[in-house]
Copies of this chain bind each other. A is one copy, B any other.
Amino acid sequence: MITGKNYIGNKLSATGNYSFKTINPKLNTENPTAFVEATPEEIEEATQLAATAFKTFRNVSGEDKAKFLNAIADEILALDQELIDVYTTESGLPEGRAIGERGRTVMQLKSFANLVANEDWKGNTFDAAMPDRQPLPKDDLRKTVIPIGPVVVFGASNFPFAFSTAGGDTASALAAGCPVIVKAHEMHAATSELVASAIIKAAEKTGMPNGVFSHLSGRGTVVGSALVNHPKIKGVGFTGSIGAGRAIFNLASQREEPIPVYAEMGSINPVVITPNAIANRGEAIATNYAGSITLGTGQFCTNPGLILTIEDENTPDFITALAEKTVAIDAQCMLHPNIKAGFVKNSDSVTAQGGVSTVAKITSDVADNFAASQIATVSGADFLANPKIHQEVFGPFSLVVTSKDEAELIEIIEALEGQLTGTIIAEDNDIANLSEVVEALTNRVGRIIFNGVPTGVEVCPSMHHGGPYPASTNAKYTSVGTDAIQRWVRPISYQSFPSELLPKGLQK
C-alpha cells in the first residue's frame, strides 16, 4: 500500500531520479520503501493545481469543509493497525503513543470541522450606513475574513501525526479554505504517505477539487525551497528546528512578494522553582519533573530544559534528587539517528561550557539510537555570562541554574530568548512575592503555568502555543487550538455592497 510516490493532487507520480529510505531507529535499519523526490515539474504541477483548486475551494461552504475534515478523520481511522505499525517503525515511539497521537489528530480535525460549520470564527462586523451624517454621510461597511491562498506545510519530526501531514497546520489551513501542499518529513515518509492517502480519499469522497491537497517527498533544500519560493504559494506552516525554520522564514521574506511563515521552533521552557517549594516538597517536584524531562524521550517542544532556582541549603539535595530520578528512568529510543547525534552534540556542547557540571547521566550502555538522559547544573553568574549555555538540547536533558538571589533570577529570565512556555513552581505563601517573576516571565513566553509541567498542550480556545522569537517566527499566532485558523485568512471590507454579491455570512 505504500508506494514511495508523490500525490500531485489526486494522482500518484514518481518521475524523479533521487530517492531515499526511512530508518527504523529501534533496529537501526532501513525500511523497505524508496521514496522518490518530487521533480521541478511535479512541484510546478502541484502548485498550479493548488492555485486552480483555490478558485473553487475558497467558496466551498463551511458545512462542506466540515464534511471534508470529518472524512479525513474517518479515513485515518480506517487505516487502522497498518498506520500504527508504520508510525512506530519509522519513529521508534511506542504503540500507545501512536494511538494517543492519532486520537489527538482526529480530535483536531473534528474541532476545526465544528469551528467552520458556522460563521462565528470569522468575527464578522457590521457598521450601518448613516446617510444623513454631517459633514459626510457614512457608507454601509461589513468586514469578514477570506483565505489567503495555497499554503505549504512542513511537518514535525516529533509528532508524525498531530503536527504533520494531517496535523494542526493542515487541518486549520483546509478549514480556512486554503489548499495545502505537504512537504513530507523525510524521517517518516511512509507514515506521511499513508496519511496523505487518507486525505486524498476524503477529498474525492466529499467532492473537493483536485489539487486541494498534494503531498511531495524530497529534501527540504530542494523540494521545500522550491515550494516556498513559488509565486502561487501564499503562506507556510512549519514545526521544527530554529535552523530550518529560520531558513524558510528568510526565503519567504526575500521573495518579490513576501509571504507569512508560521514557524514553531525551539524553546527551553524555563521553570522557576521557589526555595519554599523545594523545602516543602522537593522530592515530589523532582519525581514530577524527572517524568516531564524524559517524557517522549524529551522530544517535545515544551520539554523543560531549564530549571531556575535560588540557591539555599536545600538546593543541592533537590538537584541530586532530580538527577537521580531522571537517570533512573530507562533510556528510550530517539526518533532518528540524526536526532540522537544532535542530542549528543548539543548536550556535550552545553556541558563543555565553563562552570557547567553534569550531576547525573545514564552511563550504562544505551542502544544505538537510545538517549542517555542527563541533568547538569551551573551558577546564575556563569549562565548569564555565556549565551552558549542557553541553547536548546532536544532530548532528555535539563540544566539547573542556581541563582544567588531573586535579582539574579530576574536578570536571567530577562536575558532569555523568547520561549513557548514558562512555569512557576511555588507555595501559596510565595504568591504575594511573585509578581516580579511573573512579570519577567510573561514578557518572554507565550504560555505561563503555575504548579504544573509545560509538557502536555491542551487543544482549546484559550491555548496559545507560540511565543516571542525564536519560539515562533510570529508570536501573534498559535499552532495549537482553534485560533490556529486565523493564520490562513485575511480581513476584507465590503462597502455599500448589494446583498446578492455579499458572502453569505455578511448578508442580513
Contacts and interface: CB of A to CB of B under 8 A. Distances in A.
Interface string A121-162: 000011100000000101101110010110000000000000
A505 to B, nearest CB: 13
Given A451-B496, A464-B492, A258 B469 contact: yes
B143 A496 contact: no
Interface residues of A, number: 70
Contacts of A483: 491
A450 B258 contact: no
A452 B428 CA distance: 62
Contacts of A143: 461-464
A397 interface: no
A141 B458 contact: yes
A205 interface: no
B458 A138 contact: yes
Interface stretch (A105-113, A279-287, A441-449): A441-449
A475 interface: yes
A450 B501 contact: yes
Contacts of A81: none
A20 interface: no
Contacts of A59: 439
Contacts of A498: 428, 431, 450
Interface in A369-418: 417-418
Interface stretch (A185-193, A215-223, A249-257): A249-257
Interface in A444-487: 445-452, 456, 458, 460-464, 466, 468-470, 473-476, 478, 483
A260 interface: yes
Q: How many copies does the complex hold?
A: 2
Nearest to A500: B431
A448 B500 contact: no
A452 B494 CA distance: 11
A434 interface: yes
A118 interface: no
Given A434-B501, A469-B258, A442 B492 contact: yes
A475 B492 CA distance: 9
Nearest to A501: B438
Interface in A56-105: 58-59
A364 interface: no
A446 B139 contact: no
B257 A469 contact: yes
A435 interface: yes
Contacts of A257: 417-418, 468-470
Nearest to A136: B456
B138 A492 contact: no
A28 interface: no
Please list the 3 inter-chain residue pairs (A to B) with the smallest Cβ-Cβ separation, ordered nearest first: A253-B253, A141-B462, A447-B493
Given A253-B258, A260-B474, A447-B495, 17 more contacts: A55-B439, A127-B461, A127-B463, A143-B462, A146-B442, A146-B443, A249-B253, A250-B253, A435-B501, A442-B492, A446-B491, A450-B494, A452-B496, A463-B493, A466-B491, A475-B490, A478-B491
Interface of A: 55, 58-59, 125-127, 136, 138-139, 141-143, 146, 148-149, 249-250, 253-254, 257-258, 260, 417-418, 428, 431-432, 434-435, 438-439, 442-443, 445-452, 456, 458, 460-464, 466, 468-470, 473-476, 478, 483, 489-498, 500-501
7 contacts: A125-B461, A250-B254, A446-B491, A447-B495, A449-B496, A463-B493, A483-B491
